[in-house]
Chains A and B, each alone.
Chain A
Amino acid sequence: MTSASQGQQRELLSLRGINKSFGAVHVLRDVDFDVRPGEVTALVGDNGAGKSTLIKCVAGIHPFDSGEMVFEGSPITIHGPKDANALGIEIVYQDLALCDNLDVVHNMFLGREVKSGIVLNETEMEKRAGETLKSLSVRTLRSLRQHVSSLSGGQRQTVAIARAVLWNSKLVILDEPTAALGVAQTEQVLNLVRRLAENGLGVVLITHNMNDVFQVADSIACLFLGQMAAQVRAKDVNNTQVIELITAGRSGDIGLRPAEAAAVGTV
């Protein structure tokens, strides 16, 4: 995309040789993963492939067992969600992210309220929330002061994404943002995802939906049973190849080596 064509090839986030076990279960094996700024990187894989574990490690919820993480060119270690937030890494969860009984502004600033003295600065928060939504060309909200309970699934997802962008974040990770949405709403959210990348952010999109992947992704990373089968440019592959990578770990000459894939598959 634009940033790539300008020669801005440096990775925003790069993971090398990541391993993670829960007890006897080896969930991630030597995973490499790269995210560039201004691009949407789709993270795909079947259930149990390790997608959630990988992003939870990036978000600081679980520590890695081994491997290195480089963010904006410098090696980092993340000890908790606050560390990740401080670096500019935000996660938008599929659910459980918003309080129904609070309005849009309150939700966007939840836990990080703007105050003057001890008093909440509602006008400042409303202004900044409005500006952020405007910068994302969000037009579907009736009011900034309506309760989140009155929003549709797509609108909620929009608010959750806008909240992640509000904090000058650099990397936004979206966990199945379109899973529960209808056609029109999915379209809206995907447009929003695209706009995040156009605004220069690194975006990681976790999804099961191949249409979503090919509609917005610049790069596709396929996890297969805890191994990174391949991370490829979206324009270099087609739907069938990606599905083969997800289900078998290889497709033609990309992906895991046949012996390797077979070995992993039989574990």
Chain B
Amino acid sequence: MSTSTDQPVSQFEMETTPGQGGLGEASGAYWERIKGGDLGALPAVLGCVVLAIVFGVLEPDSFLTEQNFANLLNQGAAIMVLAMGLVFVLLLGEIDLSAGFTAGTGAAILAVTLTEHNWAWPLSVLAALATGVAIGLAIALLVARLGIPSFVVTLAFFLALQGAMLLIIGEGGTIPIRNDAILTIMNKNMSVVLGWLFAIIVIGGFAAATYWAILTRKRASLPVPAISVWAAKVVALGAVVLIAVWLLNQERQRPNAPIVIQGVPWVVPLVTALVVVLSFMLMRTSFGRHIYAVGGNAEAARRAGIGVANVKTACFILCSTLAVVAGILLASRDNSVSPTTGGAQTLLYAVGAAVIGGTSLFGGRGKIYDAITGGLVVAIIANGLPLVTQKSGIQFIINGLVLLLAASVGAISRRRAAATGR
């Protein structure tokens, strides 16, 4: 102790938080991170912009319309929610190949109980979610307790759930959904006023939460980023949210159409709420911290007294449950459930979304909003490609190439990160 009493207030706190020196220094620090291989959301955001420009130039009349923008969000929502679930499993360095059919099975349970047994919709939703929990628990027991690689276990579930789904749906092939509450999610919009209110809540909430964090650090006399950096972030988010809400609040039917369609689709606040809740869980609770620890170094986590098997179990359950939520969104969007609801295509899109967003397949790296940014890229491709070419062969090849590109960007940034020690 005697050696340290005359030390100045800890010298390494100087660089604790990037951006103390204001905007210039913050952007410099950000550039350093990019160069060091820590790309964050950059590839996904760039991808969105480039793809939007490409499709906008190729198909200005059909792609760049308010109608299509709303479509895009509806198409992307289920993929984003599925990808959020996968982020938990990918963070562990595991994979859930069955998530697509878990979504389909959940949707089938929902449709059967709603339409054929006339259950109340909250009960049906609960039954579907419980199915998700059960599937996740079963996978987790096999992976975390028995030690079978998740690839094999979930491949088996991929096949088995496909069968289960067929049996649940039965001979008819397609079960229609007529429940208003379920259909509202994907087919109805918020009123214009409510849309603006939503925008204000999102922006205000973000601004308040981040400002509160700065205040707390300041009170604890820890270094804080300059207020201009905070303001820039709030303004950037605000601009994106306000422009999106403004676009969605435009009348998006063709001129002289008999009904008016405008407003933010109800699925947007639903997905936003999921992002907020799950991000909070991942970034602000010890459970979330333990997920990162297990994904980063399971042995270190075990020695630190973390119940590795329990953490894995919780992640697989979360993944399967969120997959069922995605399945409900798909059912709402299609107004029905069929054996093609969810499935392999949706799963691959979702894995692609998570990876494009920046989540590592090797575990330990990833954030919930990766699912959103990556999901947007995937949704833009899924939405724009059919406008450009009708040939599904070309669409599949381009989808494959985009996923490879994303994985390559991830691998290159990993190598850079290893070289620069980040």
Please list the residues of chain A having a beta carbon within 8 angstroms of any beta carbon in chain B: 81-82, 85, 93, 96-102, 106, 110-113, 115, 118-120, 123-124, 126-127, 130-131, 133-139, 141-145, 147, 149-151, 195, 198-199
* Chain B contacts for A102, CB-based, 8 A: 289, 292-293, 296
User: Contact partner of A100 among B4, B297, B303, CB < 8 A?
Assistant: B297
Q: How far is the CB of B302 from chain A (nearest CB, A)?
A: 9
User: Contact partner of B303 among A97, A124, A151, CB < 8 A?
Assistant: A97
Chain B 303-343 near chain A by CB (<8 Å), digits 1 or 0: 11110000000000000000000000000000000000000
User: Contact partner of A123 among B15, B217, B295, B300, CB < 8 A?
Assistant: B217
Residue of A nearest to B217 (CB): A123
Chain B 12-48 near chain A by CB (<8 Å), digits 1 or 0: 1111110000000000000000000000000000000
- Rounded to whole angstroms, the CA-CA distance of A102 and B295 in the bound complex is 10
User: Contact partner of A110 among B293, B365, B418, CB < 8 A?
Assistant: B293
* Chain A contacts for B417, CB-based, 8 A: 149
- Is the beta-carbon distance between A93 and B217 smaller than 8 angstroms? no
- Is the beta-carbon distance between A130 and B220 smaller than 8 angstroms? no
Q: Does B11 contact A (CB under 8 A)?
A: yes
A-B contact pairs, 15 of them (CB 8 A): A96-B299, A96-B303, A99-B292, A101-B296, A102-B289, A106-B289, A106-B292, A106-B293, A110-B304, A111-B304, A112-B305, A123-B217, A133-B12, A135-B1, A147-B422
- Is the beta-carbon distance between A101 and B285 smaller than 8 angstroms? no
- Rounded to whole angstroms, the CA-CA distance of A158 and B370 in the bound complex is 33
- Rounded to whole angstroms, the CA-CA distance of A134 and B10 in the bound complex is 6
User: Contact partner of A120 among B284, B297, B420, B421, CB < 8 A?
Assistant: B284
* Chain B contacts for A195, CB-based, 8 A: 3
Residue of B nearest to A145 (CB): B16
- Rounded to whole angstroms, the CA-CA distance of A124 and B10 in the bound complex is 15
Q: How far is the CB of A144 from chain B (nearest CB, A)?
A: 5
User: Contact partner of B306 among A93, A111, A126, CB < 8 A?
Assistant: A111
- Rounded to whole angstroms, the CA-CA distance of A215 and B24 in the bound complex is 47
Please list the residues of chain B having a beta carbon within 8 angstroms of any beta carbon in chain A: 1-4, 7, 10-17, 216-217, 219-220, 222, 284-286, 289-290, 292-293, 295-297, 299-301, 303-306, 364-365, 417-418, 420-422
- Rounded to whole angstroms, the CA-CA distance of A96 and B420 in the bound complex is 21
* Chain B contacts for A120, CB-based, 8 A: 284-286, 289
- Rounded to whole angstroms, the CA-CA distance of A99 and B301 in the bound complex is 8
- Is the beta-carbon distance between A150 and B220 smaller than 8 angstroms? no
Q: How far is the CB of A142 from chain B (nearest CB, A)?
A: 6
Q: How far is the CB of A143 from chain B (nearest CB, A)?
A: 4
* Chain B contacts for A137, CB-based, 8 A: 3-4, 7
Q: How far is the CB of A58 from chain B (nearest CB, A)?
A: 15
- Is the beta-carbon distance between A123 and B220 smaller than 8 angstroms? yes
* Chain A contacts for B220, CB-based, 8 A: 123-124, 126-127
* Chain A contacts for B289, CB-based, 8 A: 102, 106, 110, 113, 120
* Chain A contacts for B305, CB-based, 8 A: 81-82, 85, 111-112
* Chain A contacts for B216, CB-based, 8 A: 123
- Is the beta-carbon distance between A139 and B296 smaller than 8 angstroms? no
- Rounded to whole angstroms, the CA-CA distance of A22 and B75 in the bound complex is 61
* Chain B contacts for A145, CB-based, 8 A: 16-17
Residue of B nearest to A118 (CB): B285
- Rounded to whole angstroms, the CA-CA distance of A150 and B418 in the bound complex is 8
- Is the beta-carbon distance between B300 and A110 smaller than 8 angstroms? yes
Given contacts A98-B297, A118-B285, A199-B1, is CB(A142)–CB(B15) below 8 Å?
A: yes
User: Contact partner of B293 among A81, A82, A99, A115, CB < 8 A?
Assistant: A99
User: Contact partner of A98 among B1, B15, B219, B300, CB < 8 A?
Assistant: B300
B7, B11, B297, B422: which has the most chain A beta carbons within 10 Å?
B297
Q: Across chains A and B, which 10 residue pairs bring their CB atoms closest together, nearest first? A: A111-B304, A99-B296, A101-B296, A101-B364, A123-B220, A150-B421, A111-B305, A110-B304, A113-B286, A143-B15
Q: How far is the CB of B383 from chain A (nearest CB, A)?
A: 34
* Chain B contacts for A98, CB-based, 8 A: 297, 300
Q: How far is the CB of B329 from chain A (nearest CB, A)?
A: 28
- Rounded to whole angstroms, the CA-CA distance of A172 and B304 in the bound complex is 15
* Chain A contacts for B4, CB-based, 8 A: 134-137
Given contacts A119-B285, A130-B10, A143-B15, is CB(A99)–CB(B421) below 8 Å?
A: no
- Is the beta-carbon distance between B12 and A141 smaller than 8 angstroms? yes
Q: How far is the CB of A158 from chain B (nearest CB, A)?
A: 11
User: Contact partner of A139 among B12, B217, B219, B295, CB < 8 A?
Assistant: B12
- Rounded to whole angstroms, the CA-CA distance of A45 and B217 in the bound complex is 48
- Is the beta-carbon distance between B285 and A93 smaller than 8 angstroms? no
Q: How far is the CB of A148 from chain B (nearest CB, A)?
A: 9
